[in-house]
């Protein structure tokens, strides 16, 4: 095989040489960095480097005589194409849960053999599960092996982009007040120290933003908080003198990023450190001295960050207006181009929609890579057109567009499906059932503290009635000019945990879907804000919450099968379109204004 055309087999051969030199029998490579980020800086894209698979989530295992990649249903088609000729076997798993990887390792390795992994990128919770299962089978988990350093000669360094302060008009609470609240939570948990490694927690707590991770305005760093001081570990040169002075004034001292492990090793004996096992790595845990106690619990900042303050909610509403105006401009241009007979592709959609957003004031960048999927490509939930692989738009069918932007005051995420030309009866039925799911959950009133997964079935019920379903979650949390995927709340089939309780101020997506492989896909997504709801009983049975729909963009009414919609569902859609028209009309003009008026007409 010509490894110049396909370098993966040679890279895997280098891995096997390194494994033999280290006395190990398998290398585990998760899609992770020392901060357990969803989108990884280039330095930690080792799984992609070794496999060639570009999807955001998967786990690679390389043994002395083979290699396997574990990917869930969102990525099966993509992984099959990208792994071709690599010598890597695709293992199709139903979900991204790590249990499938653990079971495979136990079933394919023998007692006494060793699994190498870089503990600095292995989640602490995952490490606990691995150690228990492998240990029971007599297999050793060796976390001291960063084999990538040996075989990746051109491995990127730390991202150098500068860190900046969040604009004052966007700040709901001062940094010093947030740190004070955090120390109160630490004291309640009887902890003297707390380590924060997740980058969105770090950015939110310190009212800072960066550009180290694609689509997410965060920066690479760790924060060790004690009773009377906090140490921020970042690469030198990322924070200028003025910002450093401001941080010092709030009790935050700067330290070089590579001194994090040394600082953890110096935590005094008898201390108790609060660690979130889902948001910190095994390597960081290992750095703590034997005489230090560890209390595992969710980061207090994760809970606080998920509950947007009134000022933040208002800034998000403004971001939604700007995003909606951009989409009106784009869709007016899009429909006019198609009417004129212009030939567009999925790439054209991505380019022109991104350009429309970029013209809006306060636009910072996309919140994720745009998904523009025509017909069969719309059936791939995480599809992305590339210059090497894309489709032209046809004359009859469904176009799915999932996109979002980062603005100074908010993060957006929206999915719409548009009918081009004629659509058939099955497409209309699928579209309408998904729309019914979006409407059903959007209208739901529920007790405060309801666990997010308990709401999942409401959006699926209109699909279940027809024997249909979808494989992804119904909703994910969204940050405040931060990450487009934010916890702890989510609406999915996940086993509920207490931290998933829905509280006022949380922003979540509602995005049921339906996918027919090789044919078409449907997903209709809005972002919603949890707001207090006054019931007829005046909350005699406890506080109730409802969803305020934040996203402002028409929903295409052309592919609706009217016979499948009830009168109350039609009423919800008409009222939503009336709100969209009222909020966006002052921000658009010309062709965009005409398009908005047409697409928000009552049905």
| pLDDT per position as a tens digit, 473-504 | 999 999 999 999 999 999 999 999 999 999 99
Confidence of residue 74 (pLDDT cuts 50, 70, 90): confident
The answer for residues whose C-beta is within 8 angstroms of residue 527's C-beta and 6 or more apart is 320, 412, 413, 414, 478, 507, 508, 509, 510, 549, 550, 551
Torsion of CA 106, 109, 110, 113, to 10 degrees: -110
Inform me whether the pLDDT recorded for 95 exceeds 80: no
**Helix/strand/coil for 406:** strand
Q: What is the enclosing helix (H) or strand (E) of 440?
A: helix 425-442
* Section 442-459 average pLDDT: 97
Tell the CATH topology of 8-151: Creatine Amidinohydrolase; Chain A, domain 1 (3.40.350)
The answer for residues whose C-beta is within 8 angstroms of residue 422's C-beta and 6 or more apart is 396
Instruction: Check if the beta carbon of residue 482 is closer than 8 Å to that of residue 200.
Output: yes
Tell the CATH topology of 164-302: Creatine Amidinohydrolase; Chain A, domain 1 (3.40.350)
Confidence of residue 538 (pLDDT cuts 50, 70, 90): low
Inform me whether the pLDDT recorded for 21 exceeds 90: yes
* Section 132-152 average pLDDT: 93
How high is the pLDDT of residue 3? 41
Whether domain 307-599 has CATH 3.90.230.10: the reply is: yes
Q: Where in the chain are all domains bearing CATH 3.40.350.10? A: 8-151, 164-302
Q: For the chain, what percent of residues have pLDDT higher than 90? A: 91
Q: What is the pLDDT of residues 412-436, one digit of tens each?
A: 999 999 999 999 999 999 999 999 9
Number of H helices, E strands in the chain: 18, 28
Inform me whether the pLDDT recorded for 137 exceeds 70: yes
Q: Where in the chain are all domains bearing CATH 3.90.230.10? A: 307-599
* Section 209-229 average pLDDT: 96
Cα distance between residue 75 and residue 159, in whole Å: 28
Least confident of 86-95, 294-303, 442-451, 499-508: 86-95
* Section 544-554 average pLDDT: 97
Cα distance between residue 383 and residue 372, in whole Å: 8
Confidence of residue 75 (pLDDT cuts 50, 70, 90): confident
How high is the pLDDT of residue 55? 87
């Amino acid at each position: 095989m010509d490894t110049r055309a396909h370098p993966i087999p040679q890279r895997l051969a280098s891995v096997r040489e390194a494994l033999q030199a280290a006395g190990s029998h398998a290398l585990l490579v998760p899609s992770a960095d020392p901060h357990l980020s969803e989108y990884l800086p280039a330095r930690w894209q080792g799984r992609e480097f070794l496999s060639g698979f570009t999807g955001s989530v998967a786990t690679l295992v390389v043994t002395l005589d083979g290699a396997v990649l574990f990917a869930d249903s969102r990525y099966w088609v993509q992984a099959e194409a990208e792994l071709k000729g690599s010598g890597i076997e695709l293992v199709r798993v139903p979900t991204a849960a790590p249990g499938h990887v653990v079971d495979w390792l136990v079933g394919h390795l023998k007692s006494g053999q060793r699994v190498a992994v870089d503990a600095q990128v292995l989640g602490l919770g995952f490490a606990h599960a691995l150690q228990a299962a492998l240990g029971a089978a007599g297999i050793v988990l060796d976390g001291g092996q960063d084999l990538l350093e040996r075989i990746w000669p051109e491995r990127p360094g730390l991202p150098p982009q500068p860190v900046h302060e969040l604009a004052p008009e966007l700040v709901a609470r001062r940094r010093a007040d947030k740190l004070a609240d955090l120390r109160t939570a630490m004291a309640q948990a009887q902890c003297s120290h707390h380590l924060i490694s997740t980058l969105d927690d770090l950015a939110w707590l310190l009212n800072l933003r960066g550009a180290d991770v694609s689509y997410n305005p965060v920066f690479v760093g760790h924060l060790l908080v004690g009773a009377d001081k906090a140490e921020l570990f970042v690469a030198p040169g990322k924070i200028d003198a003025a910002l450093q002075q401001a941080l010092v004034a709030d009790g935050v001292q700067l330290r070089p990023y590579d001194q994090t492990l040394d600082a953890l090793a110096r935590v005094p004996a008898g201390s108790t450190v609060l660690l979130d096992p889902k948001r910190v790595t095994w390597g960081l845990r290992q750095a703590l001295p034997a005489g230090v106690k560890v209390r595992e619990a969710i980061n207090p900042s994760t809970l606080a960050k998920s509950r947007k303050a009134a000022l933040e909610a208002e800034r998000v509403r403004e971001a939604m207006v700007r995003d909606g105006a951009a989409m009106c401009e784009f869709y007016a241009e899009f429909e006019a181009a198609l009417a004129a007979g212009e030939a567009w592709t999925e790439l054209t959609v991505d380019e022109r929609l991104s350009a429309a957003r970029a013209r809006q004031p306060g636009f910072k960048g996309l919140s994720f890579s745009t998904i523009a999927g025509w017909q069969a490509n719309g059936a791939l939930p995480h599809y992305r057109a590339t210059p090497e692989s894309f489709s032209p738009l046809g004359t009859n069918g469904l176009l799915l567009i999932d996109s979002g932007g980062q603005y100074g005051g908010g993060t957006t995420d929206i999915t719409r499906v548009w009918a081009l030309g004629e659509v058939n009866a099955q497409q209309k039925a699928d579209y309408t059932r998904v729309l019914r799911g979006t409407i059903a959950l959007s209208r739901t009133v529920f007790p405060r503290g309801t666990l997010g997964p308990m709401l999942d079935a409401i959006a699926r019920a209109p699909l279940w009635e027809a024997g249909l379903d979808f494989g992804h979650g119904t909703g994910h949390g969204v940050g405040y000019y931060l990450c487009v995927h934010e916890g702890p709340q989510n609406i999915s089939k996940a086993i509920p945990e207490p931290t998933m309780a829905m509280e006022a101020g949380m922003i979540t997506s509602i995005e049921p879907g339906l996918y027919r492989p090789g044919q078409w896909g449907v997903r209709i997504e809005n972002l919603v804000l949890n707001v207090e709801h006054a019931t007829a009983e005046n909350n005699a049975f406890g506080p109730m919450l409802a969803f305020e729909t934040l996203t402002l963009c028409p929903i295409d009414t052309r592919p609706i099968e009217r016979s499948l919609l009830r009168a109350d569902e039609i009423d919800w859609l008409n009222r939503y379109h009336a709100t969209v028209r009222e909020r966006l009309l002052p921000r658009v003009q010309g062709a965009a204004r005409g398009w908005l008026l047409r697409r928000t007409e009552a049905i």
